[in-house]
Amino acid sequence: MSLARHLKPLRAVYAVAAAGSAARAAQAMHVSQPSVTRAVQSLEAALGTALFERSSRGMLPTPAGQAVVRRAGRALQHLASAGPGPARAGAAAADWRASRLAASVGHRHLVAMLSLSQTLSETASARALAISQPAVQQTLAQLEHLAGAALFQRARRGLRLTEAGEALLRAAKLALSELAQADDELAAQHGLVQGRIVVGTLPFSTARLLPQAVDRVLREHPDVSVTIVDGTWDALVHRLRQAELDLIVGALRPSGPGADLQQQPLFVDSLAVVARAGHPLARRARLRWADLKGAAWVMPMPNTPAQAAFEQALAAAGLPLPPSPLRVNSALMMQALVAQGDRLAMMAPSQLRAEIGAGLLVALPLPVRHAPRHIGLVRRAGDLPTPAVQALLDALAEVAATIVAEAGRRGIA
């Protein structure tokens, strides 16, 4: 069941939990007590579980009620942050009730907002939603009234999101994500860890870490589904902010992605010069950096931690950057180019354990000096992980600890 379809009952449930009784909640909401009681009962019936324990002293949330209230409050506060009023400034979660947008918006408004942001056309959205174009126009007009701002600019080629529209779109996605996660929390209270995890991955840093962690989660929780998408740092960070990703795994940025996101280092990865097995340089009894002068390289993309480490290592060795660089944004492509020719690459041996063990690649015995390269996670600040996401976070920490222990035994950490 989608809690997002029950925003009105959710607000009543939140008010009852905050006030301790339907009567006091009705007073706070300026509605009748029977309407509050009916709203709570309708949501309990839809969920098939009690959200409150009733007694002569009032109404106390059950564990299921606590999960629903917690997620509902977070979802409504996301919406309040995009609307007019004091909640826009980042007030406490309870203050969403001061927001006209959060207190009144309905599921159909959010669905229309998402559709319009994708189609940028009222006509196309009407077709997608199976409603009339005037109905789409009316819903958008209501939403803009609640938001206190124009959400789209109208031009000959269609609609374009305004700054207020961008803010509301992000808030809507975050709110809908919170409510979807409530369903997974309720299932976990009955011993079922379920839900979908979407992970963004950066190249050259997760070849071992993420696959092993995901495999552990899926073995222990077969009702969990995992989707892994790769991309550039900027693209993945944007999707994380839009609640399209649960987390990013990869090489962290020294400067950080901003106050709304948080980085969590897992381990420090050391790089080595990698070549194919049988490479002429690999057969030398003694190897110096000077022997690599004029070598052909496969390089990472510009403005990445891998590229920064590459430049630092060559500068420390007194070698210039390759005059005609070959750059790739795929660890698999980099491995293939190295394995099938005489090009060199700078990669992490910890991520190439299988290829090195199989005799396909070798790490040349050269000291590689570069700033610490932290591999870890990026998540939304203040994000509340579902049981499924928490299982993946735990698995990632366990695999990272194994990588660190192995590096310590080899004397490279």
- What pLDDT, on a 0 to 100 scale, did the predictor assign at position 232? 86
- What pLDDT, on a 0 to 100 scale, did the predictor assign at position 97? 86
Tell me if residue 183 falls in helix, strand or coil. helix
Instruction: Give the helix/strand (H/E) hosting 307.
Output: helix 305-317
β-strand pairing of 297-299 with 195-201: unpaired
What does CATH list as the number for 3-170?
Answer: 1.10.10.10
- What pLDDT, on a 0 to 100 scale, did the predictor assign at position 85? 62
How far is residue 177's CA from residue 72's CA, in Å, rounded to a whole number? 11
**Residue 67, token pair as written in the block:** 């999960």
Percent of the chain predicted with pLDDT > 70: 95
- The model's pTM: 0.85
* Selection from 157-161, 328-332, 404-408 with the highest mean pLDDT: 157-161
The pLDDT of 157-178, averaged and rounded, is 94
The pLDDT of 357-382, averaged and rounded, is 92
For residue 62, the tally of other CB atoms under 10 A from its CB is: 16
Assign 257 a pLDDT band (cuts: 50, 70, 90). Answer: confident
How far is residue 217's CA from residue 97's CA, in Å, rounded to a whole number? 38
Give Rg (Cα) of the chain.
27
- For the chain, give me the number of helices (H) and strands (E)? 15, 14
- What pLDDT, on a 0 to 100 scale, did the predictor assign at position 89? 44
- What pLDDT, on a 0 to 100 scale, did the predictor assign at position 413? 43
The listed CATH number (3.40.50.10320, 3.30.2350.10, 3.60.15.10, 3.40.190.10) that belongs to domain 194-268+374-410: 3.40.190.10
For residue 351, the tally of other CB atoms under 10 A from its CB is: 21
**Residue 116, token pair as written in the block:** 């319009």
How far is residue 351's CA from residue 267's CA, in Å, rounded to a whole number? 12
pLDDT at 411 over 70: no
Higher pLDDT, 352 or 79: 79
Q: 272-369: same fold as 194-268+374-410?
A: yes
- What pLDDT, on a 0 to 100 scale, did the predictor assign at position 53? 96
The pLDDT of 140-162, averaged and rounded, is 93
- What pLDDT, on a 0 to 100 scale, did the predictor assign at position 93? 43
Cα–Cα distance list, 342 to 164, 233, 275 (Å): 53, 29, 7
pLDDT at 412 over 60: no
pLDDT tens digits, one per residue of 184-214: 999 999 899 999 999 999 876 667 889 999 9
CB 360 within 8 A of CB 238: no
- What pLDDT, on a 0 to 100 scale, did the predictor assign at position 207? 74
Q: What angle do CA 356, 359, 362 make, to 5 degrees?
A: 50
- What pLDDT, on a 0 to 100 scale, did the predictor assign at position 148? 94
pLDDT tens digits, one per residue of 75-110: 999 999 998 765 454 444 447 988 999 999 999 999
On average, the pLDDT of the chain sits at 90
- What pLDDT, on a 0 to 100 scale, did the predictor assign at position 92? 43
pLDDT tens digits, one per residue of 293-349: 989 999 988 888 888 899 999 999 999 998 878 998 888 899 999 999 999 999 988
pLDDT tens digits, one per residue of 210-231: 999 999 999 999 999 999 998 8
Tell me if residue 242 falls in helix, strand or coil. coil
The pLDDT of 133-152, averaged and rounded, is 96
CB 47 within 8 A of CB 65: no
The listed CATH number (3.30.497.10, 3.30.450.30, 3.40.309.10, 3.40.190.10) that belongs to domain 272-369: 3.40.190.10
Domain boundaries, the chain: 3-170, 194-268+374-410, 272-369
How far is residue 388's CA from residue 51's CA, in Å, rounded to a whole number? 22
